[in-house]
């Protein structure tokens, strides 16, 4: 299992993630993003690509244990 977090305050709905890892991310309407926070291990590589492709770096993989300030504070 791969844990991930999307900072939805940062997400601008570019949908790069849904394109690269459709099993994990899905767009819901114009800007709403739905995702599976506990993705299958087989999705790890796609998740890394999606995370790297996100224009606003909103996808944090394996970041569940990070303090909330670290998630929202950096950059």
Which residues here bind ligand SF4, judged by CB under 6 A? 6, 11-17, 25, 33, 54-56, 58-59
| Least distance CB 47 / ligand SF4 (angstroms) | 11
| Least distance CB 3 / ligand SF4 (angstroms) | 15
Residue nearer to ligand SF4 on the CB measure, 29 or 73: 29
SS3 breakdown of the chain: % helix, strand, coil, rounded to 5?
Answer: 30, 25, 45
Q: Say which residue the tokens 């796609």 belong to.
A: 46
Residue nearer to ligand SF4 on the CB measure, 16 or 43: 16
| Least distance CB 31 / ligand SF4 (angstroms) | 8
Buried b (16+ CB within 10 A) or exposed e, 26-61: ebeeeeebebeeebeeebbebbeebbeebeeebbbb
């Amino acid at each position: 299992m791969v844990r991930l977090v999307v900072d939805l305050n940062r997400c601008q709905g570019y949908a790069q993630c849904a394109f690269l890892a459709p099993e994990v991310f899905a767009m819901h309407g114009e800007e709403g993003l739905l995702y599976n926070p506990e993705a299958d291990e087989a999705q790890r590589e796609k998740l890394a690509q999606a995370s790297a492709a996100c224009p606003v770096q909103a996808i944090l993989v394996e970041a569940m244990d990070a303090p909330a300030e670290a998630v929202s504070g950096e950059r």
